[in-house]
């Protein structure tokens, strides 16, 4: 017993000497060392048309912080979240600067808007702070705008398109079919439409209509009439946030029966549509029906804490904090430089899926499984949450995960 104690003490001495050494060398580490908590910045839109999703993001990250602290925290310290509403690109980047300079956060998690994520990513790169993007889909963030400090746990638009595209091919909805698309008229929508159109054309489909919809549109009836006149085989949504809720509600109101699909999707906006309105096949980065032990545990913990089910946005922010805490503990350091290197070296993480995910060094995109779901028959829905059935996992078991990742077309040039 005595021996055991001595060794423990010796180990402890070694550990603290190491920590002191690290504190002496790394300048930023001094400030971390002085605090008894480790601060993580969380920045995402809470108001505006992405606000509903931002709320789920906050719920996810708060749950993760609770679990991390209950398990002993990070490097023996408690995690403290600094939560902010990112509002828009200007405010978002100003707040990111403040989180880093004033609150001395170890890293930043969050964002949903691609435009704001770009602004925060630039601050992250300039200040050499790790930023994990949990909700912005634009491929440009993984292409020309990529940088070594911006990581993406969220899927790129092209990944969403390929995930649902596989099922659309299986259902014979592309080859020789006429498509009509509605696209959110801003950076995200344009980017999504570009990759969706390429996918559909490459697979033998053809667009008979492609309308841009302003983000402040609440009445979709003129668009619905145009769709009815064009008589397409498939109606595709590249809409965003509350637009999707309004669109599926009014699509049902006008009684249109052309099959619906979409390339961008969040479960929260479909839950918000109400009975008898949701239809179609949609892609998801994660949903609450995913069959994996860690996923089931997460669904249970989330439902217990908040009284409702988690959805894809809460998934991203929850996992980001969990994997950062795990990395800091493994590295025995909260140094941003080391964290960035660790993530880029392909460390694998349990992200509540059948297979582990990892960030690839080319563009810092997390390579991972994706899913597609199909709207349930109204008569078979048990409650307001029970709106879709899982269609399966892409790629299928045994397949190379990287087939889903955006093409390595050389657009992303990371400084060595």
Partner 1 sequence: MELIFLVEQVLNGLLVGAYYLLIALGLSLIFSLGGIVNLAHGGFYAVGAYLAVALAPRIGFAGAFVASPILVALLGVAVERLIFRRFYRSDPILSLLLTFGLAMVIEQSLRMLFGAAPLPFSIPAELRGQVFLGDFIYPRYRLMILAVALGAVAATWFLVYRTAFGRVVRAGVQNPEMVGALGISLQPYMTAVSALGIGLAGLAGVLLAPISGVHPAMGAEILTAAFVVVVIGGLGSFWGVVAAAALVGVVRGLTIFFFPPAGEASMYLLMALVLLVRPRGLLGERIEKFE
- Nearest-5° angle of CA 161, CA 151, CA 271? 50
CB 334 within 8 A of CB 38: yes
φ and ψ of 344, to 5 deg: -75, -20
Out of 93, 113, 238, 246, point to the residue binding partner 1 (CB under 8 A).
Answer: 246
Residue 218 CB, nearest distance to partner 1 (Å)?
Answer: 5
- Contact call for residue 377 and partner 1 (CB under 8 A): no
Strand 37-44 with 108-110, pairing: parallel
- Contact call for residue 274 and partner 1 (CB under 8 A): yes
* DSSP bridge partners of 261: 236, 281
- Contact call for residue 49 and partner 1 (CB under 8 A): yes
- Our CB check for partner 1 shows the closer of 75 and 252 to be 252
Find the farthest-apart pair of alpha carbons in the chain and give their distance in angstroms, rounded. Answer: 86
Out of 229, 332, 403, 408, point to the residue binding partner 1 (CB under 8 A).
Answer: 229
- Contact call for residue 257 and partner 1 (CB under 8 A): no
Stretch near partner 1 under the rule CB under 8 A, chosen from 132-140, 211-219, 360-368, 391-399:
211-219
Strand 178-184 with 366-367, pairing: unpaired
Out of 83, 212, 347, 361, point to the residue binding partner 1 (CB under 8 A).
Answer: 212
- Contact call for residue 269 and partner 1 (CB under 8 A): yes
- Contact call for residue 386 and partner 1 (CB under 8 A): no
Sign (positive or negative) of CA dihedral 56, 59, 65, 71: negative
Out of 26, 52, 205, 280, point to the residue binding partner 1 (CB under 8 A).
Answer: 52
Out of 47, 170, 175, 257, point to the residue binding partner 1 (CB under 8 A).
Answer: 47
Binding to partner 1 (CB under 8 A) within 63-92 occurs at none
- Our CB check for partner 1 shows the closer of 16 and 221 to be 221
The closest alpha carbon to 146, from 177, 168, 114, belongs to 114
Out of 221, 231, 305, 414, point to the residue binding partner 1 (CB under 8 A).
Answer: 221
- Contact call for residue 55 and partner 1 (CB under 8 A): yes
Count of residues binding partner 1 (CB under 8 A)? 44
307 C-beta neighbours (distance < 10 Å), count: 7
Out of 213, 235, 323, 324, point to the residue binding partner 1 (CB under 8 A).
Answer: 213
Out of 276, 346, 354, 407, point to the residue binding partner 1 (CB under 8 A).
Answer: 276
Binding to partner 1 (CB under 8 A) within 281-320 occurs at none
- Contact call for residue 264 and partner 1 (CB under 8 A): no
Rounded Cα distance between 207 and 216, Å, is: 25
Rounded Cα distance between 389 and 386, Å, is: 8
CA torsion angle for 117, 120, 125, 130 (degrees, to 10)?
A: -80
Instruction: Please report which residue ranges of 71-156 form alpha helices under DSSP H.
Output: 89-101, 114-127
């Amino acid at each position: 017993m005595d021996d055991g104690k001595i060794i423990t003490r010796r180990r402890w001495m070694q550990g603290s000497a190491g920590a002191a050494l690290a504190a002496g060398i790394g300048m930023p580490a001094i400030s971390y060392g002085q605090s008894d908590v480790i601060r993580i910045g969380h920045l995402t839109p809470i108001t505006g048309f992405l606000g509903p999703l931002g709320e789920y993001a906050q719920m996810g990250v708060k749950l993760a912080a609770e679990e991390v602290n209950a398990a002993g925290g990070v490097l023996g310290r408690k995690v403290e979240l600094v939560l902010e509403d990112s509002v828009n690109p200007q405010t978002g980047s100003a707040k990111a600067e403040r989180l880093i300079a004033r609150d001395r956060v170890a890293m930043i998690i969050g964002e949903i808007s691609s435009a704001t994520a770009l602004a925060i990513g630039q601050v992250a790169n300039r200040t050499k702070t790790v930023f994990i993007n949990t909700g912005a889909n634009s491929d440009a963030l993984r292409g020309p705008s990529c940088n070594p400090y911006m990581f993406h746990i969220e899927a790129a638009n092209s990944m969403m398109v390929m995930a649902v595209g596989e099922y659309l091919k299986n259902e014979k909805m592309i080859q020789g079919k006429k498509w009509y698309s509605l696209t959110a008229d801003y950076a995200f929508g344009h980017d999504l439409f570009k990759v969706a159109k390429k996918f559909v054309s490459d697979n033998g489909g053809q667009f008979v209509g492609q309308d841009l919809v302003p983000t402040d549109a609440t009445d979709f009836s003129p668009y619905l009439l145009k769709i009815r006149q064009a008589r397409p085989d498939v109606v595709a949504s590249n809409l965003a946030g509350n637009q999707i809720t309004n669109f599926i509600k009014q699509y049902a109101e006008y009684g249109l029966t052309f099959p619906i699909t979409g390339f961008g999707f969040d479960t929260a906006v479909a839950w918000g549509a109400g009975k008898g309105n949701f239809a179609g096949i949609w892609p998801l980065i994660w949903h609450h029906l995913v069959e994996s032990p860690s996923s089931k545990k997460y669904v249970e913990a989330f439902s217990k804490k908040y009284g409702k089910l988690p959805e894809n946005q809460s998934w991203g922010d929850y996992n980001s904090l969990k994997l950062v805490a795990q990395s800091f503990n493994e590295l025995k350091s909260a140094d941003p430089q080391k964290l960035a290197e660790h993530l880029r070296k392909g460390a694998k993480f349990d992200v509540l899926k059948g297979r582990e995910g990892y960030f690839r060094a080319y563009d810092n995109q997390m390579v991972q499984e994706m899913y597609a779901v199909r709207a349930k028959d109204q008569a078979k829905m048990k409650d307001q949450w029970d709106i879709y059935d899982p269609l399966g996992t892409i790629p299928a078991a045994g397949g190379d995960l990287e087939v889903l990742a955006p093409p390595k077309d050389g657009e992303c040039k990371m400084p060595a």
